[in-house]
């Protein structure tokens, strides 16, 4: 448990400091240093990159989260893998140097997670982002689905604790729409560069050891057995577990399969369910902040926090950390009484949380010139669970009865 914005700020500063030191080493080494001398952070990024397939292609080779080919030194220490790792460090530095810290409590994260489960496969738009760069730090880790290291199938009993998500706006690789065999024959690249976000997922040593290792070593002793943990133990207290890009305004859909046959669906624009899980969570969180279900309040760093940040070379300013609270709690606190709905009924009832597509005039017309639906001017907004009706009337709870009859 990492309670309080101060702890989130500490995590952001420490991670920034580690990435900044790795970036400085890269500038000084300039390709001349031997691979076995790289800092621990870069070594971990190299192992991650060796597990992620080809550059610009969303491909899990066989589902490993930390390293697919950790014993293959030729892959790990290849020039291409080193350049990819350096690119990841540069992207992290950009995110952490400019990004806001978003501390999200367990209560809010649970509510966003519940909304994400009901979310559709919606495109991401620039107007969804609360800021161009940011780092979300969770009070309790979010447990994300993980994969069988041999088949790539999702294993419900195996979860990876997600401690933080960082993102930055930049050009990302995306698969071309309607890419054909003729395009391939003519040498047209399957990928194109579009505006979007690049995001990075982090875990921490304690959460990893307490929440992932027991299940992994029990379910897959041959892979997550002796020889694996000492390797991880050499790394710093936080490491990167996944990265991906997400183009703005590009339609996408979850894959119907979770195993190695997913590769056959990649050409159809399908997204693996582990990636879809993160996308739906991030988009739900962004939409919550965008539609003011959450209220961002400025956090003023304490004197010790400011001193630690100054020693790390990153002086803090007011507003660097945003504390996110549910709007209904803030408004109730300010008014000294709960929100009411009026006296139109003699009872009250529970309205379940649900998504609703809302048109926003500032984003364009609701319909295009040909009368078709304009997706760019609409957003799916989350209607949180609430009671409706007369707040002083009895609560009437509906109960569904299903009868199987001949």
pLDDT of 137 reads: 94
Bridge partners, 85 (sequence order): none
Residue 395 in this model has a pLDDT that exceeds 80? no
pLDDT of 341 reads: 39
Q: Which two tokens stand for residue 128?
A: 């969804």
pLDDT band at 321 (very low <50, low <70, confident <90, very high): low
pTM: 0.71
Residue 72 in this model has a pLDDT that exceeds 70? no
Bridge partners, 198 (sequence order): 168, 245
Give the whole-number percent of the chain exceeding pLDDT 70. 68
Query: Rounded distance, CA 184 to CA 261, Å?
Result: 22
| SS3 call for 372 | coil
Query: Rounded distance, CA 50 to CA 69, Å?
Result: 6
pLDDT of 323 reads: 65
pLDDT of 221 reads: 84
pLDDT of 195 reads: 92
Q: What is the mean pLDDT of the chain?
A: 76
> Shortest CA distance to 279 belongs to which of 378, 358, 196?
196
Q: Looking at mean pLDDT, say which of 116-125, 174-183, 236-245 comes out highest.
A: 116-125
Other CB atoms within a 10 A radius of the CB of residue 185 amount to 8
């Amino acid at each position: 448990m990492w309670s309080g914005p101060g702890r989130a700020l500490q995590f952001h500063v420490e991670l920034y400091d580690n990435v900044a030191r790795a970036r400085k080493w890269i500038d000084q080494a300039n390709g001349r240093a031997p691979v076995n001398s790289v800092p621990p952070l870069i070594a971990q990024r190299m192992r991650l990159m060796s597990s992620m397939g080809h550059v610009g292609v969303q491909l899990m080779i066989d589902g490993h989260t930390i390293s697919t080919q950790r014993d293959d030194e030729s892959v790990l220490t290849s020039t291409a893998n080193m350049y990819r790792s350096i690119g990841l460090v540069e992207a992290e530095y950009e995110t952490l140097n400019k990004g806001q810290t978003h501390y999200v409590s367990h209560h809010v994260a649970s509510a966003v997670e519940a909304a994400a489960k009901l979310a559709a496969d919606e495109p991401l738009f620039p107007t969804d982002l609360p800021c161009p760069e940011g780092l979300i730090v969770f009070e309790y880790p979010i447990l994300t689905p993980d994969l069988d290291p041999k088949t790539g199938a999702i294993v419900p009993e195996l979860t990876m604790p997600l401690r933080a998500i960082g993102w930055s706006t930049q050009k990302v690789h995306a698969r071309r729409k309607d890419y054909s065999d003729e395009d391939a024959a003519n040498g047209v690249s399957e990928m194109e560069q579009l505006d979007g976000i690049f995001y990075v997922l982090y875990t921490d040593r304690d959460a990893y050891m307490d929440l992932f290792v027991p299940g992994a070593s029990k379910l897959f002793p041959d892979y997550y057995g002796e020889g694996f943990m000492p390797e991880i133990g050499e790394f710093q207290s936080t490491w990167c577990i996944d990265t991906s890009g997400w183009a703005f305004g590009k339609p996408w859909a979850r894959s119907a399969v979770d195993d190695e046959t997913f590769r056959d669906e990649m050409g159809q624009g399908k997204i693996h369910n582990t990636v879809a899980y993160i996308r739906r969570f991030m988009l739900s969180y962004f939409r919550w902040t965008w539609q003011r279900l959450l209220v961002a309040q400025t956090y003023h760093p304490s004197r010790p926090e400011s001193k630690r940040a100054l020693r790390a070379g990153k002086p803090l300013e007011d507003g660097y950390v945003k504390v996110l609270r549910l709007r209904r709690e803030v408004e109730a606190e300010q008014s000294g009484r709960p929100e009411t709905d009026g006296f139109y009924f003699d009872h009250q009832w529970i309205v379940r949380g649900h998504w609703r597509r809302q048109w926003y005039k500032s984003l364009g017309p609701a319909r295009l010139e040909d009368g078709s639906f304009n997706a760019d001017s609409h957003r799916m907004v989350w209607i949180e669970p609430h009671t409706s009706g007369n707040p002083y009337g009895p609560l009437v709870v509906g109960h569904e009865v299903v009868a199987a009859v001949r």
